[in-house]
């Protein structure tokens, strides 16, 4: 089966950099995704890594090390609007291909 | 990107009743997924809905409690049957092709069972 571990909460100040780690155990690996969810909102896609290395999209970057079964989401120049829950997810290796989500990291950005 | 809508957006229901949630996608998709998310928790997959075949349920979820319809490639419904307060949750639908890296979610249906 699949399992993902990520910190439950992180607090940072505006303008800072924060890293949210995710370790995973999977029976097959099809890439690591990150989703953002604001309170009362739906999860929205942030990034996807299938290969080792860093993917950068504006202020957000995501890193993957397949040999370590580890990835992280890096948020730079934090803004108040970045306060949200962040979920790492892997795709089920079975035929359905659905996403399996971690428990989520609640990020609070303080002024 | 897919645009997904859900109806109703929220509801308050009495125990023992049933509620059907509708999910509409603006394009044809192979699979649709139904998730449950309890407050402050992660998303848990209920079932996968394929057009033309019975839904596939995850461990802990059964068809009698959560019947699903998938009449075409853009629409699905999830019914929460014989509700109890433990069913109070957010129910989200999502699209999927099984291999694409991005998965889009509907806005969710917030259900409160009294």
Write the DSSP assignment of B77-110 as a string of letters: EEEE-S--GGG-EEEEEEEE-SS-S---B---EE
How high is the pLDDT of residue A96?
A: 59
Across the interface, whether the CB atoms of A103 and B42 are under 8 A apart is answered yes
Q: What chain A residue is nearest to B57 in terms of C-alpha separation?
A: A96
Measured over the CA atoms of residue B47, residue B32, residue B111 and residue A86, the dihedral's sign is positive
In the numeric block, the tokens 């033309």 are attached to: B52
Q: How many CB atoms lie within 10 A of CB A58?
A: 7
Least CB–CB distance from A98: residue in B48, B104, B106: B48
Q: Which residue has the higher pLDDT, B28 or A79?
A: A79
* Predicted confidence band of residue B100 (pLDDT cuts 50, 70, 90): low
Across the interface, whether the CB atoms of A43 and B92 are under 8 A apart is answered yes
Find out whether A2 and A25 touch, Cβ atoms under 8 Å.
Answer: yes
How high is the pLDDT of residue A97?
A: 66
How far A13 CA lies from chain B's nearest CA (Å)?
22
Average pLDDT across chain A, whole number: 91
Find out whether B35 and B91 touch, Cβ atoms under 8 Å.
Answer: yes
B60 part of contact set with chain A, CB < 8 Å = no
User: Which of B101, B107, B108, B110 to probe the A interface (max A CBs under 10 A)?
Assistant: B101
pLDDT at B37 over 60: yes
How high is the pLDDT of residue B97?
A: 60
Least CB–CB distance from A42: residue in B101, B102, B105: B105
User: What secondary structure letter does DSSP report for B58?
Assistant: P
Task: Mark which residues 26-55 of B lie under 8 Å from A by CB.
Answer: 31, 33, 40-43, 45, 48
CA A62 – CA A56 distance, rounded (Å): 7
Cis ω before B8 (30° cut-off from 0):
yes
Least CB–CB distance from B45: residue in A30, A44, A98: A98
pLDDT along chain A (111 residues), means of 10: 90 97 87 92 90 93 95 97 96 70 96 94
């Amino acid at each position: 089966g699949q399992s993902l571990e990520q910190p439950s909460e992180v607090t940072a100040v505006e303008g800072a950099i924060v890293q949210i780690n995710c370790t995973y155990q999977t029976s097959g690996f099809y890439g690591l995704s990150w989703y953002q969810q604001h309170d009362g909102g739906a999860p929205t896609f942030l990034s996807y890594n299938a290969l080792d290395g860093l993917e950068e999209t504006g202020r957000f970057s995501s890193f993957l090390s397949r040999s370590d079964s580890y990835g992280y989401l890096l948020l730079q120049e934090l803004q108040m609007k970045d306060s949200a829950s962040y979920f790492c997810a892997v795709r089920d290796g079975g035929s359905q291909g659905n996403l399996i989500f971690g428990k989520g990291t609640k990020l609070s950005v303080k002024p | 990107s897919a645009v997904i809508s859900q109806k109703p957006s929220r509801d308050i229901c009495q125990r023992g009743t049933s509620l059907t949630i509708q999910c509409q996608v603006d394009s044809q998709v192979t699979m649709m997924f139904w998730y449950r998310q309890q407050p402050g928790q992660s998303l848990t997959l209920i079932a996968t809905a394929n057009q033309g075949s019975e839904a596939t349920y995850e461990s802990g979820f059964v068809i009698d409690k959560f019947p699903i319809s998938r009449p075409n490639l853009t629409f699905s419904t999830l019914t929460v049957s014989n509700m109890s307060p433990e069913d109070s949750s957010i129910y989200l639908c999502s699209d999927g092709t099984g291999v694409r890296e991005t998965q889009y979610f509907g806005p969710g249906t917030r259900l409160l069972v009294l």
